[in-house]
Every structure is written in C-alpha cells, then in structure tokens.
Amino acid sequence: MSLQGRTALLAGATGLVGQSCLARLLEHPAYARVVVLARRPTGTSHDKLQEIRADFDALEGLTPLPPVDDVFIALGTTIKAAGSRPAFYKVDHDYVVSVAKLGKRAGARRLSLVSSVGADSTAMNFYLRVKGEAERDISDLGYECVDILRPSMLLGDRHEHRTGEALAAPILRAVSGAMMGPLRVYRPIEADDVAAAMVASLVSDGTAGVRVRTFDDIRRFAS
C-alpha cells in the first residue's frame, strides 16, 4: 500500500467526528486529495479538498467520483432528529451503505466506519441493530480492509443541543475511570480521538479483513 498520494472519500464531514476527521485527512502527508460528499458546505477551504454536494437519496445517479483509495464514514443521525425509525434507518443504514458502495465503485479498497459500542445486527435494541446491519452489509461489499470503530458516548463541542447526551456526559465522565474490565468499552471518548484513530488505523495497519476497534484500540491509535 502506497503511503503517499492517496485519495480519501469522506462522508459526515460536517459532524462532530467528521469535522475532526476532515482536518486530520487534510493535514496527513499520505493524502493528496480529500473528496467530501455532503449535503451542505463544510466551510473549510484547502488545496487538497474537493467537495461534492450530494442528495443522499440519489447517490446512484451521482456523476462518477474521481478514483478513491480509502473511504471514511462518520455519517449518522438520531431517531429524534430523523423523526421516525424508518427515517433513522435510511440515514444510519441506507446512506452509509450507499456511500460504501459508491467508494467501492470508485476503486477504494479500504474503508473506515464509525459505528457504535454494542452494534449487533441481531440486537433487540433498534439503534444497535441498525448499526450492526450497516456494519454487516459494509463488511460484505468486498473491501480488502474494513475498520469498524465502536465508540460509546462521544465527547466534544457540539453545536446542536442534545439534552440526553448533555445530561449523561458529565455523569459518564465522572464514572469513566471506574469502568473496568468488560465495562471499559462503555467509557465516553473524545470525538477527536475517534477521528484520529480512523485515520491512523487505516493508514498504519495494513492487515486485511474486518477490524473492530473499541475504546482501548481507539485510544491507542489516537495517541
């Protein structure tokens, strides 16, 4: 794998993890070009950056992308913001898998996806099942390497107010150190660490297959 002149495709670049991922990709020497697929401008200007405005319901009809090496997906919504379970499924499963398919058609062989701790396609919990189905369907696309990051609660400065997360974050921060053994995966984590790990893992670990990264792996790759 060449560590120079790579092209990244990024979806979710306007979000908490995605903004940080974009900044890291733009500054990383391995990447000569970063193609962002988004429904609104990122507000970032950079020689390496190419933004493609996209209707995620119509990705199939998008003009062909430039050749891509690596795909980074930090796209997602909440059931509350989406308005219904089917609308949430459309974003967190269908859009995510469509971006992965688009990247594959553009030649990408490696992909990094932000999923969630507990993701499981057989889970009773709807949110975790959707995340698990997205992981499963992306893993079946034939990428040489798929990184699945499974963070617990994301910490960081979010413009949008989320009451539940705002209430839970200080509590989880306070008890985080006491979450030991199998509970470590539930420790809250800085969104910036997740973004750093997405880039570092895909660039530095050349092993093939599906690699699941939870709290400790994410912190290790981020450091």
Least separation in angstroms between CB 96 and ligand NAP? 7
- Which CB, 107 or 116, lies closer to ligand NAP? 116
Nearer to ligand NAP (CB atom), residue 40 or residue 161: 40
Cα 75–chain centre separation: 6
Q: How far is the CB of 138 from ligand NAP (least distance, A)?
A: 12
**Gap between the Cα atoms of 161 and 192, Å rounded:** 18
Residue nearest to ligand NAP (CB): 15
Strand segments, DSSP code E, in the chain are 6-11, 31-38, 49-53, 70-73, 110-114, 145-149, 154-155, 189-190, 209-213
Indicate the residue among 7 and 14 with the shorter CB distance to ligand NAP.
14
Instruction: Evaluate whether 132 touches 91 at the Cβ level (below 8 Å).
Output: no
Q: How far is the CB of 90 from ligand NAP (least distance, A)?
A: 7
Is the CB of residue 112 less than 8 Å from the CB of residue 198?
yes
Rounded to a whole number of angstroms, the minimum distance from the CB of residue 223 to ligand NAP is: 20
Minimum CB distance to ligand NAP, residue 117 (Å): 7
Binding residues for ligand NAP (CB under 6 A): 12-18, 39-40, 56, 74-77, 91, 114, 116, 151, 153-154, 165, 191
Identify which of residues 37 and 200 has a Cβ nearer to ligand NAP in the complex.
37
Tokens 């989320």 correspond to: 162
**CA pseudo-torsion sign 32, 154, 77, 40:** negative
Q: How far apart are CA 189 and CA 61, in angstroms?
A: 37
**Toward ligand NAP, which CB reaches closer, 15 or 33?**
15
